[in-house]
A and B are shown apart, each in its own frame.
Chain A
Amino acid sequence: MTGIRPVPDEPTAATTPTRSSENQTLADLLQRAGRGDQEAFATLYDAVVSRLHGLVLRVVRDPAQAEEVTQEAMVEIWRQSARFDPALGSPLSWLMTIAHRRAVDRVRSAEATSRRDTSYHQQNQVTEHDSTAEEATRNLEARRVRQALGSLTDTQRGALELAYFGGYTHNEVSTMLGIPLGTAKTRIRDGLIRLRDTLGVDS
């Protein structure tokens, strides 16, 4: 019996060995990068860039601009790597926070953002997302996240996706959904709380 490892039917989140050991590895790489170790940073890049870029692309939409933002974010991560403090959160969360903020800054500052013109890129993007999604569903972590998203109410998910993937402010979200500002705030927060509790992540 010892040779057979039971397949867990209920993934157990933060305590999943893969996730915590990944975070440990990332924390080590960040620490080395903070001391100027470019090789460590290259390893870090390979480990996280597809997640960072996927997020940035989802927010920015325009592939060329998204690459610029991903590049800026990676360079910023290099600069700030010694400032990462494991006591304040996981490395992944820290990395994604930097990339997300960069992406949001880009779309909010662009006077004529490509995502707001209804043309080519947007349609193009839809196809790209579908093929990416297929690939990503093979990944256990991605599937868990999808399941967790499924546990949100439609209204929570709608508000959270507009804010996180759309890069819209809660003010804009409330206007777009035709709901009071307070409701938009609550839906975003409640959606995140449910996501957190379902995934079992905590800092």
Chain B
Amino acid sequence: MSDMHPLSGAYAVDALDDIERARFERHLAECPDCTAEVASLREAAAMLAHSVDTEPSADLRAKVLAEISTVRPLPPQAPAQEVVRRQARRFPRMVAAAVAAVVLAAGVGVTAWHPWDRNQPGQPSVAAQVLDAPDSKRQTIRIDGGSATVVHSRSLGKAVLITKDMPKAPSDKVYELWLQDAEGAMNPAGLMTGGRTHQTVVLRGNAGESTGVGITIEPAGGSKSPTTDPLALFDFRKSV
């Protein structure tokens, strides 16, 4: 047990923010006690729904059944990244509906967290290391009803972008991430798509010397330097 243990209740009822949740999930991977406790507390929480039964409107059933006929069920326990990549290519519409559908650009590491994933023991991911680093700092910017948070650690020289409900990039466009160096130049740090999902992306390149992070919309495949005004600009001096 550790000081994370008392968070099991808040985690079980989704009362942690994204950063706390990511940390707690790292902890869960190594703590069978907490994993068992969370499972039992979720059973209890699920029972609460019995006290609030409400029928939705009658046409919802038809809408749901029509929509699922266009959605392919995921195979059991397949490696998440492979499946997600294939899904996104075959069914572009589904990206919006997915909890964490992520299109990978070469060199960009992505971790998608599902509440129901089996936790993989082993080395913490780079993203988890950055979130857990004692010198990590964060900053959140709202984007069109969604939000983007950059967490960076100078000691690890890495920055992580966590997006939530970020709108989909226009068709044929991608979001490109940039690390700004001390001279103000923007260096390509990876690509991502939007969609109403949570994405956690480790930025490519050394963030130890960087002064900030930018996000722009670029043609598919990305650009060598930004061709549009940044959608969001994170100044590390303002991170807390």
Contacts and interface: CB of A to CB of B under 8 A. Distances in A.
Contacts of A171: 17
B9 interface: yes
B64 A75 contact: yes
B51 A146 contact: yes
Most buried by A among B52, B56, B65: B52
Contacts, number: 238
Contact of B116 (A58, A94, A141): A94
Interface string A33-44: 111101001100
Contacts of B55: 49-50, 53
B5 to A, nearest CB: 9
A201 B44 contact: yes
Contacts of B97: 72, 75-76, 79
Contacts of B44: 192-193, 195-196, 199, 201
Contacts of B69: 38
B43 A90 contact: yes
A76 B165 CA distance: 16
Most buried by A among B7, B12, B75, B118: B12
Interface string B69-113: 101111111000000000000000010011100000000000000
A188 interface: yes
A127 interface: no
Contacts of B49: 51-52, 54-55, 96
Contacts of B7: 170, 185
B172 to A, nearest CB: 26
Nearest to B142: A111
Given A50-B53, A78-B68, A132-B53, A195 B15 contact: no
B1 to A, nearest CB: 13
B68 A83 contact: no
Interface residues of A, number: 92
B13 interface: yes
Interface residues of B, number: 62
Nearest to B117: A83
B98 A79 contact: yes
B41 A78 contact: no
Interface stretch (A2-10, A99-107, A114-122): A99-107
A75 B95 CA distance: 12
Contacts of B171: none
Contacts of A199: 44, 47
A169 B61 CA distance: 31
Contacts of B94: 79
Interface in B128-180: 142, 145-147, 164-165
26 contacts: A34-B76, A46-B61, A49-B60, A54-B52, A57-B54, A58-B52, A67-B57, A67-B60, A80-B73, A80-B116, A88-B116, A90-B43, A95-B46, A110-B145, A139-B53, A145-B47, A164-B13, A169-B16, A173-B15, A185-B9, A188-B10, A191-B9, A193-B41, A195-B45, A195-B47, A195-B48
Interface of B: 6-10, 12-17, 20, 36, 39-57, 60-61, 63-65, 67-69, 71-77, 94, 97-99, 114-116, 118, 142, 145-147, 164-165, 198
Given A50-B56, A79-B72, A145-B51, 11 more contacts: A42-B65, A75-B64, A78-B71, A83-B76, A88-B39, A110-B145, A142-B53, A192-B13, A195-B45, A201-B43, A201-B47
